[in-house]
Structure 1
Amino acid sequence: MQRFVQPALSIVIAVAVAWLVAFTVEILVRREQARSTPPVWVSLQRRCRASFRTTLTLAAILIALPSAGFNGPVVEVIREVLVLALIAAIVWLLVQLIRVGEDVALSRINVDVSDNRRARKIRTQVVLLRRVMAVVLVLIGAAAAAMTIPSVRAFGASFLVSAGVLSVVVGLAAQATLSNLLAGIQIAFTDPIRIDDVVVVNDEWGHIDEITLTYVVVRTWDNRRLILPISWFTTNVFQNWTRHEARVLGSVILHVDFTVPIDELRAEMYRLVQESPLWDGRDWVLQVVDTTPTTMVLRGLVSSADAPSNWDLRCDIREKLLIYLREHYPHTLPKLRADLSDGHQPRQFGDNSSAPDGTPRSTTPSRPAE
């Protein structure tokens, strides 16, 4: 019994020392966090605490295990398991450190401005690069873990002879994954879309809510989420309303009668946009852009600092213009017309009446549509 107490005690002491070191580091981080305002200390405390403790604990056990005096095949298996766990803990710690760097970088980017295109570009690149680095670290960790197992190492060496065939098979099997990964890297550097961009995808208007290495989340105006493969944005046509600037120019379409006083309606629209806090004070216009057999088509253009403001401004202008027409010029709202210029009155026939050619007529008298 005594020969197991001393080895176990050495392992417990090693673990206690590891926790003491971790506790000391946490105290120092909290002290620096209280002294200064940079977010790096807050992020370190929040993200790296558990992974740092786990890494130190596993490393301490592995260091103390040879001096504990345990031998046998079971101890060898335990040692291999601990090595794999330590590799996983180190990868976990490194990934969390990358997230700390992401937090620090994003904290210095201000997106709460009217023209935040450059800030959103940098933010998108930082997020995508963090994810690429995390994937690379996981792959390196998995390869390192596999190389610690003798059987797996021998199995991998036997495949080096047929590496060409294996690479072709793996490439064909992971074609979609690799294409999405390359598309994510391409989007990070070519900048076709950014987080919070206003886009129209498959006739759906929305914002870019999230960009990962495999898919993009588009949040529509009614808070639905469209999940699209990231490669879709490199192979399909879509609209990006905030590609060069956050400012948006939107249209208001009205169908009115031909007798509408356009100058008065234009003056009313100018008064409305001047009174609206959603207008950025730059562009507005009201023009006759088309006609139909029964109406005249007016298009008003108004500009705003961003897409949500422009949407609300367009709805507000459209509503108030319709109220103005209804109250001041109700006769200019769309109506149907009938031409009675030939002077003939509609004839009314009885139940058995018929046209001159003998075709039965309807019993309902015809009248001009109101």
Structure 2
Amino acid sequence: MFERFDPRNWSIAWDEVVVAAVAIAIAVVIAFVIHKIVFGLLGRLARRSHSDVDELVFDRLARPIRWSVVAIAIAAVAQTNPNIRAVWEWIAPLLVPALVGWVALSLVRAFAAAMQMRSELSSDPIAARSRRTRVAILSRTAGFLIVMLTVAMMLLAIPGVRDVGVTLMASAGLAALAVGAAAQPALKSLIAGMQMALTEPLRIGDLVVIEGFSGRVEEIRMSFVIVRTWDERAIVVPTSSFLEKSFENWSRESEQLTGAVFLHLDPAAAVAPIRAEFESYLPTRAEWDGRTGELLMTEAYPESIELRIAVSAATIPDLWTLRCAVREHMIEWLRTEMPDALIRHRLGVEDANAGVQGE
């Protein structure tokens, strides 16, 4: 195939070059016109539908299909012109796999974008996060495979590379061992990503705690997961860590959580007035969802007692705000109404001076 297209054997005939160029130009123009007409009709049909998904898919496929139609038109012209056919037979083995891979990759990305758009319209946030996670992981896996197969097909079209591949196949045992060793990290990441999509230990948008970091899962890739902390840091965690190590997922089923506020007070403090103040204050907070609201003495030490205040909220941010508000209000109320309940480990200057004078 490549022997036919040897620039050293060219004898330039400008009339044939002009004829070939005009034929290719006409074919390209016809291809653009056909593409514009077809996608114009499809665009009108998509705009009449009640969903934006059709229009999104057509927009993603417009460019790769446009150039695929151009390639088909040039291939058709090449059948009637030997000069164009000689050039086309040299380019086609590289161009056709690239165009097919481009169309397939655009289809996968258009499907992923459409599914994510539908998930955003879902009334169930847990189901929406689950769908977004699966679509993101599976689409990236499919995209990786498409790119790998496309590059392999393009390389096999080159005679030198194909000969190298045949030589490697002759020593299949050694080649398999080398490829297996080199591809082990990639295969491990690929398998971990597939497990993440199928088992769903975490999803995009979940609040997790792993290796001392807590934050929202912002992105899940084949080899790593990005966790965004409250102070906007991006923590990059290997995907395999979520499968090999224990971690906390605070929003696995829902965002409804119960949190605690601890107060350490003097053992002589009366608990009943503190509980009454807490029970009167909690209903005034809009973040409280009414599920849990109690104050219990959980520990008693020789020099202090521990009061645990348990509150609940519908979302994790609301729970954080509620815990901070309850803690601040109770400390302020104790300082104003029951100052003797607060533990003091301070030595006043006046008391120290008085002790010295007494001696």
Are 2:218 and 1:218 aligned?
no
Equivalents in 1 of 2:319, 2:218: separation in Å?
19
- The residue number in structure 1 matching 2:154 is 145
* Contact 1:252/1:314, CA 8 A, preserved across alignment: yes
Q: Which amino acid aligns with 2:356?
A: P
Kindly tell me: are residues 160 and 327 of structure 1, through their superposed partners in 2, closer, same or farther at Cα, counting changes over 3 Å? same
Equivalents in 2 of 1:14, 1:183: separation in Å?
47
- The residue number in structure 2 matching 1:2 is 15
- The residue number in structure 2 matching 1:64 is 77
Equivalents in 2 of 1:276, 1:25: separation in Å?
59
Residue of 70, 78, 86 corresponding to 2:96: 86
- The residue number in structure 2 matching 1:167 is 176
SS in 2 for 1:48: helix
Equivalents in 2 of 1:128, 1:216: separation in Å?
11
Q: Which amino acid aligns with 2:133?
A: T
Residue of 108, 113, 137 corresponding to 1:98: 108
Equivalents in 1 of 2:172, 2:197: separation in Å?
31
- The residue number in structure 1 matching 2:202 is 193
Equivalents in 2 of 1:44, 1:109: separation in Å?
16
- The residue number in structure 2 matching 1:16 is 29
SS in 2 for 1:109: helix
Which whole-Å deviations, capped at 9, do the CAs of 1:8-63 have from their partners, x for residues lacking one?
11101111111112211221232023211222222124322222222222333333
Residue of 74, 87, 107 corresponding to 2:117: 107
Are 2:99 and 1:48 aligned?
no
SS in 2 for 1:120: helix
- The residue number in structure 1 matching 2:4 is none
Structure with greater proportional helix content: 2
* Contact 1:39/1:103, CA 8 A, preserved across alignment: no
Equivalents in 2 of 1:332, 1:346: separation in Å?
23
Are 2:334 and 1:365 aligned?
no
Range moving further from structure 2, 285-294 or 209-218:
285-294
CA shift for structure 1 position 218: 0.3
Are 2:28 and 1:28 aligned?
no
Aligned-pair Cα RMSD in Å: 2.6
- The residue number in structure 1 matching 2:315 is 306
Which whole-Å deviations, capped at 9, do the CAs of 1:72-101 have from their partners, x for residues lacking one?
9xx55x643454233222212211111221
Unaligned runs of 5+ in 1: 339-344, 349-363
Equivalents in 1 of 2:141, 2:353: separation in Å?
81
* Contact 1:111/1:120, CA 8 A, preserved across alignment: no
Aligned residues: 342
Identity %: 31
TM-score, structure 2 as length reference: 0.86
Equivalents in 2 of 1:325, 1:84: separation in Å?
78
- The residue number in structure 2 matching 1:248 is 257
Q: Which amino acid aligns with 1:217?
A: I
